[in-house]
A and B are shown apart, each in its own frame.
Chain A
Amino acid sequence: SQTIHQWPATLVQPVGSPLSLECTVEGTSNPNLYWYRQAAGRGLQLLFYSVGIGQISSEVPQNLSASRPQDRQFILSSKKLLLSDSGFYLCAWSVLVSGAYNSPLHFGNGTRLTVT
């Protein structure tokens, strides 16, 4: 069965410090990978998605970047965190089923980031 791992679960970082959040998927090949952010009491904002190694699509210009160095690894980074980067960061994956349709998104348990 497929599993998704995100770490760390919680993180407190000072303004101006760098960030690296990691996500790995097991049990599937060539997944589509996603980073979403969720502010308190709000919905899910798509930040980045990737359909293959080294392929990154950015949805919202901001202080963050993403990389996919391996098939099942997705990394969210920042060189200098801002207070507004605080939030709940969620990694997710999907695959093609029946050759044409996408599966649902499957989410990790998220990283709660507080920038102080």
Chain B
Amino acid sequence: GESVGLHLPTLSVQEGDNSIINCAYSNSASDYFIWYKQESGKGPQFIIDIRSNMDKRQGQRVTVLLNKTVKHLSLQIAATQPGDSAVYFCAEKTPGTYKYIFGTGTRLKVLA
């Protein structure tokens, strides 16, 4: 269903530090998870994905961690840059459905 709340949670980090964005997903049967970055006025952009048979996956400067026991997903961004400032969403997909369900989103602000 739709996220609630007019004010997105915000994470402020110093440029050059590492960022960790967290997401609690809703369905224990979900087997596919995706992180997106959305800049103002644009559509969400794919960052990285992970399937439930893995607990960690790394990309360029990003790492996704999956903890199925507590239904938790995190996105780690190394050496955060001003261009990383955006809203970040996690999404989950359950096998046997075509629906991708999105989390509420977190705004990342990078401080110079």
Interface residues of A (CB under 8 A from B): 32, 34, 36, 39-46, 49, 51, 57, 59, 90, 92, 94, 101-102, 104-110, 112
Contacts and interface: CB of A to CB of B under 8 A. Distances in A.
Interface stretch (B14-22, B58-66, B72-80, B92-100): B92-100
A19 B15 CA distance: 43
Given A42-B104, A109-B42, 7 more contacts: A41-B5, A43-B104, A45-B2, A46-B100, A101-B51, A104-B46, A110-B41
Interface of B: 1-8, 32, 34, 36, 41-46, 49, 51, 89, 91, 93, 98-105
Contact of A41 (B7, B42, B43): B7
Contacts of B4: 42
Contacts, number: 68
B46 A43 contact: no
B34 A41 contact: no
Given A49-B98, A101-B32, A101-B51, A42 B5 contact: yes
The 9 closest A-B pairs by CB, nearest first: A43-B3, A107-B43, A45-B2, A44-B102, A104-B46, A109-B43, A104-B34, A41-B6, A43-B104
Nearest to B104: A43
Contacts of B8: 41
A36 B1 CA distance: 11
Given A43-B89, A43-B104, A105-B34, A49 B99 contact: yes
Nearest to A34: B100
A90 B49 contact: no
Contacts of B32: 101-102
Contact of A57 (B5, B51, B89, B98): B98
Contacts of A104: 34, 46, 49
Nearest to A108: B43
Contacts of A107: 36, 43-45
Contact of A51 (B1, B41, B89, B98): B98
Contacts of B93: 102
